[in-house]
A and B are shown apart, each in its own frame.
Chain A
Amino acid sequence: MLINKRLILAHFWLAFAVFGLALLLGAWQMFLRSPLNAWHFNPEFYYRSVTAHGSAMGYVFPTLIGMGFGYAITEASLEKPLIGRRWAWAGFFLVAVGAIVAMIPVSLGLASVLYTFYPPMVGNPFYYIGVVMVVVGSWIWVALMSINLAIWKRENPDKPVPLAMFANVAGSYLWGWTAVGAALEIIFQILPVALGLTATIDAGLARVFFSWTLHAIVYFWLIPTYIAYYTIFPRAIGGRLYSDAMARISFILFVVVAMPIGVHHLFTDPQVGPGFKFMHSVFTGLVALPTLLTVFTICASAEIASRLRGGSGAFGWVRALPWQNPIMLATALSLVMLGFGGAGGLINMSYQLDASIHNTQWITGHFHLIFGGAIVIMYFAIAYDLWPHLTGRALESFGMMRTQLWLWFVGMIVTTFPWHYVGVLGMPRRMAFYDYANPAISPQAFSVSMSAFGGLILLISGMLFLTVLIRGQMAASSESGAYKFAVPLHMPARIPVALNSFGLWLALMVGLTVVNYGYPIAQLMVLKETNVPAVYIGASR
């Protein structure tokens, strides 16, 4: 039973509003730097837009989704009102205000440092302060998830934690720990420089701190998607979840192994030794494991639902699935994009293959496909599934929902596949414009134009999505009953304590972080001679 519907809706509405604005910027950016545009404009506008787009899509949008969905899961799975409602609202406002505080200097062109804000480039301090506020707001959510679970466990000793809540709390712990890297970088390195308290900064150390956050943050984004795979999808298509235990193991694997692998973003950097680069490469390979397990479990769950509906044959059962159901469609499209995006990720995992495509448009294509594609399409599905329960009104534009989902999928493929291709051709990232007439670049022109066209498709899909939600907000009221999660095929009476609690896994997560990051960070921290002068961007004329 969802009680704090306004709280949850507030999170989702702000998330999707930010998403819509950022999507507009993204489509504009794609057009601006493509051959479709005669490239004579002030490049600063492009970089300003990229900063806004990246910060909104990376720091604000998915955080709000995780938080809102997390509150919904807490109430629906634990079947009691959220404890700490006022704190939750405080967290929400902190995120909202933080986002505005960050966006003001960015919009004024005072902080065009991009969402990765690599020092020694430093922008206006309020951009960083805004980001910190967003993170702190989300940490309130992390604390509330932990507290709510702890109280429920005390009231329900020996009961298995509902899978959705277990995964939700796993994601919150992962986020809480992974945000520490960027927080350390901003608070101890960047803000002192941005505020004028000091004038030098260790750029290499900052990149190492940021890499701590940069990879595992995508797993924070991914966990709501996987929760939807495991606990919404099987129920939505009238089936059962193949295995509860394997689901828990997958989420546990994410908690332990998502963190200590960030140095694969630093493979070509000079400040980290090759030994640690290799170690991170090994663990990056390991993080493929929970996804492989998930793909199996979800496909098996789909098969169960299909055979319950009369599907037959070794592969024929696929046709008997309820394709009219938007959740079915979204999940299938998500898994296809996950396959391609994941394969790309495996290529990025080794230094050898990464060397060919590091910081080319392949990287941009990769993360748009996996995050913007596989992950965000399930955010749409989550919204579609939850909306009637949150608004108390029917959500019935099924045709529009399916169209929207197909457009998102097609748009994402058309946007990202050419992107991967031009990356292999060597097109560098993050340039406001390219001289497509030059023979070194002209082979890339057609693909970039295709990509820009894909961006337009995505924009249309995004607008359709918002239309569906707005319609859902204004439809006739309708009783949707209690919000239920998927039921596993075989629910064991008892669950091993290891699959029902987090202490062990958090200890491993922190331990691996120390092993994989401890020395690189410590060693760079004691190096005094690598503090280099800050370069202020957007400086006064």
Chain B
Amino acid sequence: MTAETDHGIGEAVAARIERRWATLSIVIVGLLVGMATFIGIHQATMPQGHVETADPKTLHLAGEFIESNLGSAVEANGSITVRAIGQQYSFTPQCVVVPSDTPITFRATSADVVHGLLIEGTNINIMLVPGYVSVLPIRFKAPGDHVMPCQEFCGIGHQGMWGKVKVVDKTAFLNMAAAKRRLTCVD
């Protein structure tokens, strides 16, 4: 019967168009995931490579996050390690100084609650979870000043938690490093 055949043809056409769209959708999704993977391998930036733990209660007593060990340190291979802690309601060091155009490893943890930090003008963005150490390899292309707010609610004083990052010229930094082993730009 014509009506049935028409109906059957209509259904087949509809199904075919639908399958084409489904295939296209799968291809689109595949492309997006593939792009993220490719970029990941070729190092746009990757999540931190290991999970490390730290005890927030005793950060100030012993270990790498004691007060006198915080700040920017020059490593033997010329790279920089910046150590910082987040606490209610400031980062220590309050002002982080780093050289431009140098590989830097940023290591930080929280002394109390969940904080976060982002460095405005860059894609540097990490959470600080008490009990765990956040590690991020970073690099600044040019000298400049950036603000570094806490980006996660950490208590009633959260809105006051703004740190600073000063990126200075490489030679200027190394001159400073000759005088002190842990550098900050806190007065």
**A residues at B contact (CB < 8 Å):** 43-44, 47, 112, 114, 116, 118-121, 202-204, 207, 242-243, 246, 266-274, 277-278, 281-282, 285-286, 288-289, 292-293, 296-297, 300, 346, 349-352, 355-360, 425-426, 428-434, 440-441, 489-490, 527, 529-533, 535, 537
- CB pair A243–B18 under 8 Å, yes or no, is yes
User: What are the interface flags for B28-72 relative to A under an 8 Å C-beta threshold, 1 for contact and 0 otherwise?
Assistant: 110011011101100011111111110111000000000000000
Q: Are B151 and A202 in contact (CB under 8 A)?
A: no
B93 is an interface residue with CB less than 8 A from chain A: no
Q: Evaluate contact between B18 and A268: CB separation under 8 angstroms.
A: no
Known: A207-B129, A532-B130, A535-B113. A360 touches B21 (CB 8 A): no
Chain B residues with CB under 8 Å of A281's CB are 33, 36
Taking A202-B131, A360-B151 as contacts, is the C-beta distance between A431 and B55 under 8 angstroms? no
Minimal Cβ-Cβ distance residue in A for B131: A530
Contact (Cβ within 8 A) B132 A359:
no
Report whether A360 and B118 are in contact in the complex, using a CB–CB cutoff of 8 Å. Answer: yes
CB-defined contacts of B52 to chain A, threshold 8 Å:
270
B interface vs A, CB < 8 Å? 7, 10-11, 14-15, 17-18, 21-22, 25-26, 28-29, 32-33, 35-37, 39-40, 44-53, 55-57, 88, 109, 112-114, 116, 118, 120-121, 123-135, 147, 149-159
Minimum CB–CB distance for A487 against chain B, Å? 14
CB-CB nearest in chain B for A33? B159
Most buried by B among A242, A268, A296, A440: A268
Residues of chain B within 8 A of A272, CB atoms compared? 51
Is A269's CB under 8 angstroms from B159's CB?
A: no
In the A-B complex, list the 5 residue pairs whose CB atoms are closest, starting with the nearest.
A530-B131, A359-B151, A426-B120, A350-B36, A431-B159
State which of A47, A357, A434, A533 has its C-beta within 8 Å of the C-beta of B153.
Answer: A47
Q: Knowing A121-B113, A270-B126, A288-B29 are in contact, say whether A359-B40 is a contact too (CB < 8 A).
A: no
Chain A residues with CB below 8 A from B109, complex form: 270
Q: Which of B25, B33, B154 contacts A293 (CB 8 A)?
A: B25
CA A269 to CA B7, docked complex, whole Å: 55
CB-CB < 8 A to A351: which residues of B?
A: 36, 40, 45-47
Q: Do A430 and B36 touch (CB < 8 A)?
A: no
Residues of A near B125 (CB, < 8 A) are 268, 355-359
CB-CB under 8 A for A292 and B159, given A281-B36, A351-B45, A355-B125: no
Q: Are A121 and B154 in contact (CB under 8 A)?
A: yes
A428 close to B149 (CB less than 8 A): yes
Bound Cα distance A335, B8 (Å): 31
What is the bound-complex CA distance between A535 and B55, given in angstroms?
A: 15
- B24 closest partner in A (C-beta): A292
Contact assessment for A356 and B123 in the assembled complex, using a CB-CB cutoff below 8 Å? yes
Query: Once the chains are docked, how many angstroms separate the CA of A234 from the CA of B22?
Result: 21
Contacts A43-B157, A358-B116, A440-B147 known; 18 new A-B pairs at CB < 8 A? A118-B152, A121-B155, A207-B129, A266-B127, A271-B51, A274-B49, A282-B33, A289-B25, A292-B25, A296-B21, A351-B47, A359-B118, A426-B120, A428-B118, A434-B159, A527-B53, A532-B130, A532-B131
Query: Can you offer 5 A-B residue contacts whose CB atoms are under 8 A?
Result: A47-B158, A270-B127, A281-B33, A350-B36, A537-B156
A266's nearest neighbour on chain B, judged by CB, is: B127
Q: Are A428 and B151 in contact (CB under 8 A)?
A: yes
Least distance between A200 CB and chain B CB atoms (Å):
9
Q: Which chain B residues lie closer than 8 Å to A246 at the CB level?
A: 18, 22
Closest A-chain residue to B152, C-beta based?
Answer: A359
In the complex, chain A residues whose CB is within 8 Å of the CB of B126: 268, 270
> A268-B125, A274-B47 in contact; A489/B14 too (CB < 8 A)?
yes
Determine the distance from Cα of A266 to Cα of B46 in the docked complex, in whole angstroms.
13
Establish whether residues B51 and A270, one from each chain, have CB atoms under 8 Å apart when the complex forms: yes
User: CB < 8 Å: which of A289, A358, A530 contacts B53?
Assistant: A530
Q: A273-B51, A532-B57 are in contact. Are A440 and B131 (CB under 8 A)?
A: no
B29 near A292 with CB under 8 A, answer yes
Measured between alpha carbons, how far is A533 from B118 in the docked complex, in Å? Answer: 25
Question: How many whole Å from A386's CB to the nearest CB in chain B?
Answer: 29
Candidates B21, B50, B129; contact of A269 at CB < 8 Å: B129
Could you tell me the distance between the alpha carbons of A527 and B129 in the complex, rounded to whole angstroms?
A: 15
How far is the CB of B30 from the nearest CB of chain A, in Å? 8
Question: Shortest CB–CB separation between residue A182 and chain B, in angstroms?
Answer: 16
- In the assembled complex, the Cα of A429 lies from the Cα of B159 at a distance in Å of 9
CA distance in complex: A346, B154 (Å) = 28
Q: Is the CB of B130 within 8 A of A352?
A: no
Instruction: With a 10 A CB-CB cut-off, give which of B50, B109, B150, B159 has the most chain A CB atoms.
Output: B159
Q: Are the CB atoms of A203 and B114 closer together than 8 Å?
A: yes
Nearest-Cβ distance from residue A25 to partner chain B, whole angstroms: 16
Q: Return chain A residues, CB-CB under 8 Å to B45.
A: 351-352, 355
Of A243, A434, A535, the residue contacting B14 (CB under 8 A) is: A243
Q: With a 10 A CB-CB cut-off, give which of A273, A425, A428, A531 has the most chain B CB atoms.
A: A428
